[in-house]
Amino acid sequence: MNSIAPRTRPDPPDAAVAPAEIIIAHPGWRRAVPGVERLITRAVAAAGGAGSVRLDGDRAVKRLNFRYRGRNKPTNVLTFEPAAPGLGGDLVLALETLKREARAAGKPVRHHLAHLVVHGALHLRGADHVRAGDARRMEMQEARVLARLGIPNPWKSK
């Protein structure tokens, strides 16, 4: 008979804000980012939460971008506000766009993915980058969260 010993350590503080669901709709994600679910769980938790994260391709994200934003092109991450308070909201990321951006910036795909997940989760918490001051504050927030994950500041030049 197995018995469960009481925990000697509390749950990590970020455990309560992990995404409710991670949907890997495009098979290329597992090849591009080994351990992708763990990375996303950590990034979402560190940034304050999200309801779900969907990993898809450019074609699907392009359709969503046109439907909800009127832009007929793929984008790296789409953020959908929660339908009701407390649900967390949803993120959708495009594999091909994300890989192109990472390659162009000379960064590992996993670092760029973590950055965009953090970016989207911060949007869900009300952060924005429309005005210059807001953009700088959001960049600093992103850098702090990514540092906790061991990922270099994406805003710092090499």
Q: Output the 3-class SS for 49-116.
A: CCCEEEEECHHHHHHHHHHHHCCCCCCCEEEECCCCCCCCCEEEEEHHHHHHHHHHHCCCHHHHHHHH
Residue 75: what are its φ and ψ, rounded to 5°? -140, 165
What is the pLDDT averaged over residues 125-141? 84
Q: Which helix (H) or strand (E) holds 144?
A: helix 132-148
pLDDT at 112 over 80: yes
2 occurs within a structural domain: no
**Alpha-carbon gap, residue 129 to 111, rounded angstroms:** 20
Q: Quickly state the pLDDT bin for 3 (edges 50, 70, 90).
A: very low
Range of the domain at 55: 14-148
pTM of the model: 0.85
Question: For the chain, how many residues are written?
Answer: 158
Q: Residue 18 has what pLDDT?
A: 62
CATH of the domain at 56: 3.40.390.30
Q: How many domains would you assign to the chain?
A: 1
Q: Is residue 9 part of a domain?
A: no
Residue keyed to tokens 């969503």? 64
Confidence band (pLDDT; 50, 70, 90) for 127? confident
Task: Give the per-residue pLDDT at 86.
Answer: 66
pLDDT above 90: residue 84: no
Residue 17 pLDDT exceeds 80: no
Say what the pLDDT of residue 9 is.
29
- Cα–Cα dist 77/48, whole Å: 17
Residue 4 lies in a domain: no
| Overall average pLDDT of the 103-118 stretch | 96
